[in-house]
Amino acid sequence: LWIIWKQGAISIKIKIYGKYFQFINCHLAPHQDNADKRNETLLKILHSLACKFSSTEVILLGDMNYRLEISNEDYKKFLKKHE
């Protein structure tokens, strides 16, 4: 069992029946205009935590704060088109 904290994220790595699982939980910057900052932070987190171990499985959790800007009307049209 390993627990690591780095740059707005916490990671735990556990071994279950001979297989490693690494869970990373993070909270990225909010607001639509911070997408570049979120991407940069997420890459740093993954590089410093997920790449640090040779984990079999990496599960990323948390509040990523990514948003899609779409109107309710366009969303309904999309759903109808793809029924």
- CB-based contacts of 78, cutoff 8 Å, min separation 6: 70
Q: Is residue 1 predicted with pLDDT exceeding 60? A: no
Digit-coded pLDDT (tens) for 53-68: 666 788 999 998 888 7
Q: Is residue 73 predicted with pLDDT exceeding 80? A: yes
Residues 9, 49: Cα–Cα separation, whole Å: 9
Residues 77, 18: Cα–Cα separation, whole Å: 48
- CB-based contacts of 13, cutoff 8 Å, min separation 6: 1, 2, 4, 20, 21, 22, 23, 53, 55
What is the pLDDT at residue 31? Answer: 83
Digit-coded pLDDT (tens) for 10-61: 888 888 898 889 899 998 888 878 889 889 888 888 888 766 666 678 899 9
What is the pLDDT at residue 77? Answer: 93
